[in-house]
């Protein structure tokens, strides 16, 4: 029999609902896994073992007096939340040394949604400061490392969550995606990552996101597990039922075009092109028709996106006396955001609305768009910041101040992510290739499929059809 952490999320859910495994047994198992693996991986900032065991015992009490059909959808399932979301009674750090770290008075709406679905919260996962970057490293805790190669990053900003799922510390995890923050770490860690379309998951909306870029989405080991989580995030759409159906034959456009190319010219790694080729072969074998799709992006995009993306950190409540404790990138982009006029932000938002219209018009010539998930293999820990983290222990390190070099590296690493958020479209990453030649060998590399509004179920169906 496989151990609990080797089961799919769906199989574990069924065992918990049937009473074959108790919530207390499951919680204790995953807490033990975290205790063993987290010192190496840095996936968790905070582990709430006592709270989790208390929630598990309460879940077992409920199940003793309820029929399986009366239990919530994720009864007793172990879960954890990015350390950007408030969990009542637990410190929210936002990955920042510049904030006071106090227990949250109440659950964030996303956390409430999952607690109502019956989950047991094991703690808070590692994030970059304020979720701003494509890597999960900060000044308050060890960096989140890739379980497939601990010298490499697990991506960001949902990097701790992705590392936890890939290492079997969690069966699956919710992330949030404002510029690739579900899809980047999912691709880096060899997982399925789904970014739902704008407005589908109301619990993830934020007042500090004027362009409405951010949405929660599942990070999972399979399309079925992602569909199970989507049934919580967007109830009533029956994703788990839909994912088991065969998708229609589709016309899929292949592109390497990126709105970042004019500002930050890049050449995809050979491994990224190998992943794209592997994805093409799988899709053609499944009966879909593929063709080259040239996409023209307005070269004003990088400035407009950056203006919208950093508006929230510019407005964050941080004491002037604590700003020196911000990471260089955060401090630089906060200062620039504060120096921009409201008219400049309004101009950027208007441009992004036009960019969405123009880009969607080009995408509509195809049923789905296909591109690599990342342009490079998962990057070494400390690569973006120029920080030598050295051993797996958390050292006291100095962070160089090259914020613009850091940002450029991120845009070259993940050049096909943020425009999907600007357009508000659904997208999924699928781990179709491993650099060592076999699944689990070497580093994972994936493809991204982008669909029209409302295509979340279709994207999950295609991922499952490809064997994921």
DSSP letters of 24-55? Answer: HHHHHHHHHHHHHHHHHH--EEEE-HHHHHHH
Across 110-223, where does the E strand assignment appear? 120-125, 145-146, 149-153, 173-177, 192-195, 215-220
Compute the C-alpha angle 141/397/102, nearest 5°.
Answer: 30
Does position 3 have pLDDT exceeding 80, yes or no? yes
Q: How far apart are CA 50 and CA 36, in angstroms?
A: 17
Query: pLDDT digits over 394-413, tens only?
Result: 555 667 779 999 999 999 99
pLDDT of residue 392: 45
Residue 110: which CATH number? 3.90.1300.10
Determine which of 6-10, 175-179, 350-354, 435-439 has the lowest per-residue pLDDT on average. 435-439
Q: How many CB atoms lie within 10 A of CB 454?
A: 13
Catalytic residue, chosen from 96, 121, 153, 157, is 157
Query: pLDDT digits over 11-36, tens only?
Result: 999 999 999 999 999 999 999 999 99
Question: How many domains, in total, are found in the chain?
Answer: 1
Enter the DSSP assignment of 147: T
Catalytic residue, chosen from 82, 115, 124, 195, is 82
Does position 291 have pLDDT exceeding 50, yes or no? yes
Let me know: does 60 contact 157? Beta carbons within 8 Å.
Answer: no
319 is catalytic: no
Does position 391 have pLDDT exceeding 50, yes or no? no
Cα 281 to the center of its chain, rounded Å:
26
**Residue 422 φ/ψ region, left for φ over 0, alpha for ψ in the -120 to 50 degree band, beta for the rest:** alpha
The strand pairing partners of 380, in sequence order, are 152
pLDDT of residue 388: 65
344 is catalytic: no
Alpha carbons within 13 A on the beta-carbon side of 162 = 38
pLDDT of residue 109: 96
Of 100, 75, 91, which is closest to residue 19 (Cα–Cα)? 75
Query: pLDDT digits over 231-260, tens only?
Result: 999 999 999 999 999 999 999 999 999 999
Does position 414 have pLDDT exceeding 70, yes or no? yes
Query: pLDDT digits over 154-167, tens only?
Result: 999 999 999 999 99
Does position 101 have pLDDT exceeding 50, yes or no? yes
pLDDT of residue 71: 97
Let me know: does 220 contact 9? Beta carbons within 8 Å.
Answer: yes
Q: How far apart are CA 206 and CA 199, in angstroms?
A: 11
Cβ neighbours of residue 300 closer than 8 Å, sequence gap 6 or more: 351
Catalytic residue, chosen from 22, 154, 181, 418, is 181
Mean pLDDT for the chain overall: 95
Of 246, 265, 180, which is closest to residue 217 (Cα–Cα)? 180
Secondary structure class of 62 (helix, strand, coil): helix
Q: How far apart are CA 382 and CA 230, in angstroms?
A: 33
Domain span at 258: 4-465
Does position 83 have pLDDT exceeding 80, yes or no? yes
Q: How far apart are CA 256 and CA 370, in angstroms?
A: 9
Question: Roughly how many angstroms between the first and final C-alpha of the chain, as a whole number?
Answer: 22
pLDDT of residue 394: 53
Compute the C-alpha angle 41/322/391, nearest 5°.
Answer: 25
Percent of the chain with pLDDT strictly greater than 90: 94
157 is catalytic: yes
pLDDT of residue 223: 98
Query: pLDDT digits over 313-329, tens only?
Result: 999 999 999 999 999 99
Phi, psi (degrees; rounded to nearest 5) at 162: -65, -40
């Amino acid at each position: 029999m496989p151990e609990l952490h080797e089961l799919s999320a769906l199989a574990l859910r069924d065992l918990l609902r049937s009473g074959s495994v108790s919530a207390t047994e499951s919680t204790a198992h995953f807490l033990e896994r975290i205790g063993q693996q987290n010192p190496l991986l840095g996936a968790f900032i905070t582990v709430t073992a006592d709270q989790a065991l208390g929630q598990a015992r309460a879940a077992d009490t409920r199940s003793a007096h309820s029929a399986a059909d009366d239990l919530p959808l994720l009864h007793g399932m172990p879960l954890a939340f990015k350390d950007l979301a408030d969990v009542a009674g637990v410190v929210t750090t936002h990955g920042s040394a510049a904030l006071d770290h106090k227990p949250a008075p109440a659950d964030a709406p996303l956390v409430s949604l999952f607690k109502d679905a019956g989950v047991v919260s094991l703690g808070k996962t590692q994030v970059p400061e304020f979720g701003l970057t494509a890597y999960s490293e900060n000044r308050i805790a060890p960096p989140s490392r890739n379980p497939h190669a601990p010298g490499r990053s697990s991506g960001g900003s949902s990097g701790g969550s992705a590392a936890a799922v890939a290492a079997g510390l969690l069966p699956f995890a919710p992330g949030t995606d404002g510029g690739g923050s579900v899809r980047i770490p999912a691709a880096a860690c060899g997982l399925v990552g789904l970014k739902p379309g704008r407005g589908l998951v109301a619990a993830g909306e934020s007042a500090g996101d004027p362009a409405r870029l951010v949405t929660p989405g599942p990070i999972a080991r399979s399309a079925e597990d992602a569909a199970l989580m989507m049934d919580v995030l967007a109830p009533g759409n029956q994703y788990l039922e839909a994912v088991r159906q065969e998708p229609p034959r589709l016309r899929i456009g292949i592109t390497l075009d990126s709105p970042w190319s004019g500002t930050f010219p890049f050449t995809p790694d050979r491994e990224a092109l190998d992943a794209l080729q592997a994805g093409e072969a799988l899709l053609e074998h499944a009966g879909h028709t593929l063709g080259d799709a040239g996409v023209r992006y307005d070269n004003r995009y990088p400035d407009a996106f950056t203006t919208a993306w950093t508006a929230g950190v510019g407005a964050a409540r941080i004491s002037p006396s604590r700003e020196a404790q911000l990471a260089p990138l955060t401090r630089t982009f906060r200062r620039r955001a504060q120096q921009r006029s409201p008219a400049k932000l309004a101009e950027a938002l208007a441009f992004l609305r036009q960019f969405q219209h123009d880009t969607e018009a080009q995408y509509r010539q195809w049923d789905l768009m296909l591109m690599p998930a990342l342009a490079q293999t998962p990057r070494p820990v400390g690569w973006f910041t120029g920080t030598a983290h050295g051993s797996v222990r958390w050292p006291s390190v100095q962070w160089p101040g090259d914020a613009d070099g850091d940002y450029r590296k991120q845009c070259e690493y993940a050049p096909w992510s943020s425009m999907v958020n600007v357009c508000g479209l659904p997208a999924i990453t699928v781990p179709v290739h491993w650099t060592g030649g076999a699944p689990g060998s070497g580093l994972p590399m994936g493809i991204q499929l982008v669909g029209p509004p409302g295509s979340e179920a279709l994207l999950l169906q295609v991922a499952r059809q490809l064997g994921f």
